[in-house]
Amino acid sequence: MTNKAENVIKEKDLVLIYQDEKRQFLTQVVSGLRLSSDLGDLKLSDIIDKPFGFVGKTHLGRDFYCLKPSTADLMMKVKRTTTIVYPKDLGYLILETAIGPGSRVIELGTGSGALTMVLAKFIGPDGIVYSYERREDFIENARKNVERAGFVRNVEFTCAEIGQKFFGQNDVDAIFIDVPEPWAIVPAAAVALKGGHHLVSWSPNVEQVKRMVEALQAHSFQRIRVKEIIEREMLVRLQGVRPRERGITHTAYLIRAQKVIAMQ
């Protein structure tokens, strides 16, 4: 078996056109369109049928690279209506649950769909993501983002006010919560989640974390842990190796907990 054929760039594919660290573009290939930067133009039709990894030249003779977008690229380059979860945080959180191909997962709220597409990707064709959001316009934008990334088949979007009783699912394998008041969702989440399984949530402020942890304790969640994941870039250059001097210093505190079935 070879999937060499699959590694050829086709119409509608997402390609990461990379020139250098400051010029990298997640681009959907549409014949007739051009991509332009100060290093020159390229016709997207010229890269169709080329393999991923292809090195081309702009009309100014500068190199560009046709790279495969990573999952992180797909997330980070969505059209944003909201702040999004970062790969450093989401990668950790996914491993803190038990989800994989075939899982059924609730996400709340949909936001820009960055998380939605990653969940949809990892649960695969046999799984399903139930994505809740109270703003119709956010869902519209998120649906386009997820569709463009190729993962919309296994997502069911629901526009609903975030209340205490609204989930239409039971026995889901994990619940991902990204809303400003996550504690309000805990009762509904405790109903929808499979016993022993994982709820994860993240918030930028300490007060939110504290209130969420109290809500989880009050609803018999166990093994509650809060982590912060800090990413530090190392610059490896001829003149020397050192951490980057400026950058992102905080995104969110990450909470994980597991549902227990209280005895009667």
- Stretch 79-98 residues interacting with a second copy (CB under 8 A): 87-88, 90-98
| All residues at 6 or more sequence positions from 47 whose CB lies less than 8 Å from its CB, including other chains | 9, 15, 29, 54, 56, 66
124 binds a second copy (CB under 8 A): yes
Among 77, 118, 176, 186, binds a second copy (CB under 8 A): 118
171 binds a second copy (CB under 8 A): yes
The residue range among 16-24, 27-35, 36-44, 129-137 that interacts with a second copy, by the rule CB under 8 A, is 16-24
In the complex, the smallest distance separating the C-beta of residue 136 from a second copy, rounded to whole angstroms, is 26
3 state DSSP class of 93 = helix
Among 45, 62, 65, 140, binds a second copy (CB under 8 A): 65
User: How far is residue 193's CA from residue 169's CA, in Å, rounded to a whole number?
Assistant: 9
Among 77, 148, 198, 219, binds a second copy (CB under 8 A): 198
Among 26, 66, 115, 188, binds a second copy (CB under 8 A): 66
Residue whose CB is less far from a second copy, 161 or 207: 207
The residue range among 35-43, 140-148, 159-167, 243-251 that interacts with a second copy, by the rule CB under 8 A, is 243-251
Among 39, 162, 188, 213, binds a second copy (CB under 8 A): 213
Provide the token pair at 4: 């060499």
Inter-residue contact 75 to 84 (CB < 8 Å): yes
**Per-residue binding letters, 22-61, with a second copy (x by CB under 8 A):** --x--------------------------xxxxx------
Pairing of strands 253-259, 193-203: antiparallel
68 binds a second copy (CB under 8 A): yes
3 state DSSP class of 159 = strand
Given CA atoms 118, 122, 126, 127 in this order, what sign does their dihedral have? negative
φ, ψ dihedrals at 7, nearest 5°: -95, 15
| All residues at 6 or more sequence positions from 74 whose CB lies less than 8 Å from its CB, including other chains | 14, 26, 114, 117, 118, 121, 149
In the complex, the smallest distance separating the C-beta of residue 140 from a second copy, rounded to whole angstroms, is 25
Among residues 75, 69, 72, 70, the alpha carbon closest in space to that of 142 is found at 75
In the complex, the smallest distance separating the C-beta of residue 145 from a second copy, rounded to whole angstroms, is 16
Among 31, 181, 196, 218, binds a second copy (CB under 8 A): 196
**Count of chain residues binding a second copy (CB under 8 A):** 93
- Stretch 136-165 residues interacting with a second copy (CB under 8 A): none
Residue whose CB is less far from a second copy, 36 or 220: 220
Q: Facing residues of 104 across strands?
A: 128
User: How far is residue 259's CA from residue 224's CA, in Å, rounded to a whole number?
Assistant: 10
